[in-house]
Structure 1
Amino acid sequence: MKRIFLIVLDSFGIGFSSDAYKFNDVGANTFAHIVEKCFLGQADINRKGALYIPNLIKLGITHAARAASKKKLLGYNNNLNVIGSYGFASEISSGKDTTSGHWEMVGVPVLDNWCYFTNKNNSFPKDILNYIICSSKLTGCLGNCHASGTDIISDLGEEHIRTKKPIIYTSSDSVLQIACHEVFFGLSNLYTLCKNIRIFLDKNKYKVARVIARPFIGHKKSDFQRTGNRRDFSMKPFSTTVMQKLIDEKKGQVIAIGKVSDIYSGVGISKHIKSTGLNELCHNTIEEIKKSKNNTMVFTNLVDFDSNWGHRRDVAGYAKGLEFFDKKLSQIIDLVQANDILILTADHGCDPTWTGTDHTRENVPILMYSPNLEKKFLGHRKTFADIGQTIAKYFLLSNMSYGESMF
């Protein structure tokens, strides 16, 4: 029986990449800076002391991080026994966003630029704004700028409730985000609006990676909060992913947990398990691993590391999340059978000690474990696509166009 369990710790970078200067990210290091803050007692909110992640260490995270950045990790040494193979990868895609990272790791790097809305204010072109307003018979839009999602909801939420105008905003990523109240605007109305915008953008050759529905609840500025009903309306991958090959060539199954299905616009996905929150994501991953059969890939994105702690520059929250996941990881490791492979990686960095709130251009870890897999240093992988090529080799699929197998 052959099974792959691919878990993406969203934003868990391990040191700035060689091209980080293009992104003003030289010096960023998500993992090392969290370790440092914990060691110095500067991340003791709802947790305490040095970062405690014995299972990630057992899989080789400190070895991979040291190789990727040559940076000393305070409080750790590399004399511990490692049970898996470990290495790190750099990204060849043009951006440092979720879509680029995820597409590249399954064999479809994004080598051309996405469409970005670079103006900090009045960010969106008039034809997009006019379509949003006219197609849904709205009286206008709010926002139209670069913003933090939580901040803009706090600032404009009351006006949105009063006027029913959607709040639209973007970031340094290729995204068009729309925040609306679940009750006063309606969740289904928000989804319909985002779906129609996706169709408009594709029809008019706007290469925007994602249209994101950001529903929220509450009645006034002091109690607005986003809900777990976020949905991403993504472009379809430009070419065939390794998941689609698994389905087409082996009649296999791809189980997508969390936002994975949205990232690939449902392409190459057999079953989607909606999950929100780190606890639920881990629980559903464990349950799907238990149920999975031959030629199955269980694919999970742990989004909280990015959305809840990375973007919000919450070091203590990120550390506590890593420690929580590490406890669950012991259960996952125990479920890995002789011919299975567990792969842990990330899609980009989001250093919670860095300036601003954007992603950071970083190398990502590749931790691989199987009872029958040779334990070795996987080296510096020149593209995330080596993950996809390795999966293709493992399942005896036709070769991907990018990447080299790590076997």
Structure 2
Amino acid sequence: MKRVFLMILDSFGIGSSIDSHKFNDYGSDTFGHIAEKCFLGQANKERDGCLKIPNLIKLGIIQAYKSATGKYPLGFHETCNKSKIIASYGFASEISSGKDTTSGHWEIAGVPVLDEWYYFKKFNDAFPSILIDKIIKHFKLPGILGNCHASGTEIITELGEEHIATGKPILYTSSDSVFQVACHENIFGLSKLYKLCKKIRNLLDENQFKIARVIARPFIGNNKSNFKRTKNRVDLSIQPPSITVMEKLIIEKQGEVIGIGKISDIYAGIGISKSIKSFGLEELCNITINEMKSAKNNTIVFTNFVDFDSVWGHRRDVSGYAKGLEFFDYKLADMINLVKGQDLFIITADHGCDPTWIGTDHTRENVPILIYSPDKKINFLGHRKTFSDIGQTIAKYFSLSEMQYGKCML
């Protein structure tokens, strides 16, 4: 029986990539800086001391980090006995033009984004008037709020009360290729918000704006002191430009791809047999474990653990990120025990989001590749020149036709 369990720790970078200076990210290091803050006792909110991740260590994360950066993370050099590592390990750099979620995930699936996304670069009046006018006219809106670069939590605090009073949706963007819409879940309504976002997606495509995602950001609360985003977020992505390894598995082997979390949204539903929408680290872990238990032959269980990015990375919460890693590591023991025979259990990431870095954006970093399979010899995977080596490896493993990008690591 052949199964792949592909786990994306969203934003878990392990040191600046060789081209990080082009993104003003030279020196960023998500894992290294979190480990450093824990070692120095500066990440003790609801946790304490050095970072405790024994299962990730067993899979080779410390050696992967050392191979990517040339050093051990603080607090770990005495704990990483190579003889106790059970998985193959290495690191990968990204060839896609962006450092966003879509680019990283598509490249992992064997479809790197080599052309530039379109970005809304102006910090104020960010969106072209042609788009705003059409959005207002189509939905007969009283107007819009925001129209700027903003943090998603800060902008609902700033404009949420005015949104409730006027019925005007909050539109904003970031340094990523995204168009985000925040509306009150109950007062504006989820259905209306989703319809608005779908129309914006269509308008962007019709006007040839290559925007990676339109994101619906519902929130609840009655004033700025208690506004809170809900789990009913929806990402409307552009479709991948060519066939992914997941789609190949479904077409060539009649296999199954189970997308957990926001996986289906990221790939616009393409190459996903079953989508399980879920947010929250504990829930995502539990669903993943359940799907691993029942996975059949020729199946990929594909999970994105979004909290590392959206809850802790972007919000620059080092303690929260560290606590999340420790909880994931605790659940990781159950996942490892479910990996049998020829199964491939892969842990990687899609980009960095260093919570100690300047600003609140993603960071251009290398990502770890940890591959555990009881029946396969442990290897040092070295430096992989593209995330697409993961997709090519999965294609080879399932005896699929070759992907256009990447080299097999098996």
2:219 alignment partner in structure 1: 216
Alignment match of 1:378 (pick from 354, 376, 381) = 381
Q: Do 1:15 and 1:362's aligned partners in 2 also have CA atoms closer than 8 Å?
A: yes
Aligned residue type for 1:163? T
- Contact 1:164–1:185, Cα closer than 8 Å, also in 2: yes
Structure 1 CA distance for aligned equivalents of residues 214 and 355 of structure 2:
25
Instruction: Write the deviation string for residues 281-300 of structure 1: whole angstroms up to 9, x where unpaired.
Output: 00000000111100000000
Give, in angstroms, the shift of residue 79 of structure 1. Answer: 2.3
Offset at residue 179 of structure 1 (A): 0.1
Which residue of 2 is the match for residue 36 of structure 1? 36
| In structure 2, C-alpha distance between the alignment counterparts of 1:11 and 1:129, rounded to whole Å | 31
Selected match of 2:255 from 244, 252, 256: 252
Tell me the residue number matched to 2:178. 175
Q: Secondary structure at the match of 2:165?
A: helix
From 141, 146, 150, the equivalent of 2:149 is 146
Partner of 1:73: 73
Q: Which residue matches 2:246?
A: 243
- Alpha-carbon deviations, 1:7-57, whole Å to 9, x = none? 000000000000000000000000000000001100000000000000000
Q: Distance in 2 between matches of 1:394 and 1:102?
A: 19
Aligned match of 2:323:
320
Q: 1:240, 1:141 → 2: CA distance?
A: 37
Separation in 2 of the partners of 1:354 and 1:27?
Answer: 9
- The aligned counterpart of 1:262 is 265
Unaligned runs of 5+ in 2: none
1:87 is displaced (CA, Å) by: 0.3
- Quote the offset at 1:72 in angstroms: 2.8
Q: Distance in 2 between matches of 1:280 and 1:302?
A: 10
Counterpart Cα distance in 1 of 2:365 and 2:70: 13
Matched, 1:99 2:137: no
CA distance in 1, matches of 2:134, 2:279: 31
Distance 1:222 1:106 in 2: 41
Conservation of the 8 A alpha-carbon contact between 1:194 and 1:212: yes
Q: Give the C-alpha shift of residue 270 in structure 1.
A: 0.1
* Matched position secondary structure for 1:222: coil
The offset of 1:203, in angstroms, is 1.5
Residue number in structure 2 paired with 1:159: 162
- 1:168 Cα deviation from its structure 2 partner: 0.3
- Secondary structure of 2:225's partner? helix
Give the corresponding residue for 2:311.
Answer: 308
Stretches of structure 1 that go unaligned for 5 or more consecutive residues are none
| Corresponding residue SS for 2:393 | helix
What is the CA distance between 1:376 and its match in structure 2?
A: 1.1
1 CA distance for matches of 2:30 and 2:353?
Answer: 6
CA distance in 1, matches of 2:199, 2:132: 13
**Identity value in percent:** 68
Deviations 1:203-242 (A, max 9, x none): 2111000000000000000000000000000000000000
Task: Return the alpha-carbon distance in structure 2 between the equivalents of residues 376 and 404 of structure 1.
Answer: 15
Where in structure 2 are the equivalents of 1:247-396 lying within 5 Å?
A: 247-396=250-399
Code of the aligned partner of 1:72: Y
Partners of 2:262 and 2:198 in 1: how far apart? 16
TM-score, scaled to structure 1: 0.99
Paired residues of 1:32 and 1:71 also in contact (CA < 8 A): no
Q: C-alpha distance in 2, partners of 1:265/1:135?
A: 24
Paired letter, 1:22: K
Secondary structure of the residue aligned to 1:289 is helix
What residue identity is the alignment partner of 2:26?
V
What per-residue deviation string (whole Å, max 9, x for no partner) do you get for residues 50-80 of structure 1?
0000000000000000110113311112324
